[in-house]
Amino acid sequence: MAKTPAQRIKKHGSKAAVPQHHLPPAVNPTTARTPEKAQSNSNLIVIAGVVASLFLFWYLHLLTLDQLRQLSTGLAMPDSLIGGFDPAYIGQLHAAMDEDARGQLNYVHKTAGTLFPLIFGFTWLLLIGTNVARKALRWALWALPLLFVVVRLWGNAAIDGVLATEAPAPGQVALASSLTVAGWVLLVLSLVAGAVAVILGARRPKATS
């Protein structure tokens, strides 16, 4: 029977031949690829978010809201009016749309009208965060998509509110109109912020291995 290392030392003293034990080498000991892998994962998420945002924009504004014009004798939905609307227009729209039609618009607001700003906002936050290194500039650019999400969701509720009333207060209509205009402006500014972030990310010097 083979002797244990302790038995060999006891018998032969310092001359005992004790086999050396080595730990197996670590798998992938280098971490040089970690930042690049993280950047690649972020880019894949951003690409998926951009595709989803484009699809939802098309589905919401170019398909669904446009189809709802069939229920309002051709009048455009308030969401599509980039320049806003006045109480007279809301009165015409309310008279042209029955309760079922207004319910369909409310359903659109709760589904695609909610998903679009949320997915767009998340995507743009990640896009800016992965490309802009300066903290102050990053927060300044982040403010635009964050405000867009808040204003857009608030605008959806405001539009549903004015259409639910036969004669809404002028101030209520003005608020809904202002939120609609602000939502479109913030969407455009958010797109510009995203383009700025991509340019800054492309100019940022790459880390050398």
Predicted TM-score (pTM) of the model is 0.80
Over residues 173-202, mean pLDDT: 96
d(CA 105, CA 97): 10
Q: Could you count the other beta carbons within 10 Å of the beta carbon of residue 209?
A: 7
Distance between the two ends of the chain, CA-based, in angstroms? Answer: 52
Q: Could you count the other beta carbons within 10 Å of the beta carbon of residue 83?
A: 8
Largest Cα span, the chain: 106
Query: Token pair of 189, please?
Result: 């500014």
Closest CA to 58 of 12, 14, 120: 120
Asked if pLDDT for residue 13 goes beyond 80, the answer is no
DSSP 168-182: --HHHHHHHHHHHHH
Backbone angles phi, psi at 65, to 5 degrees: -65, -35
For the chain, the helix, strand and coil percentages under 3-state DSSP, each to the nearest 5: 75, 0, 25
d(CA 43, CA 129): 11
**Tens of pLDDT along 89-143?**
999 999 999 999 999 999 999 999 999 999 999 999 999 999 999 999 999 999 9
Domain ranges within the chain, ordered by starting residue? 46-203
Say what percent of the chain tops pLDDT 70. Answer: 79
Query: Token pair of 200, please?
Result: 């800054």
Asked if pLDDT for residue 48 goes beyond 50, the answer is yes
Over residues 201-208, mean pLDDT: 70
Asked if pLDDT for residue 56 goes beyond 90, the answer is yes
d(CA 32, CA 206): 13
Q: Can you give the pLDDT at residue 42?
A: 82
Asked if pLDDT for residue 53 goes beyond 80, the answer is yes
What distances in angstroms separate CA 136 from CA 12, 142, 147, 186, one per listed residue? 70, 10, 17, 19
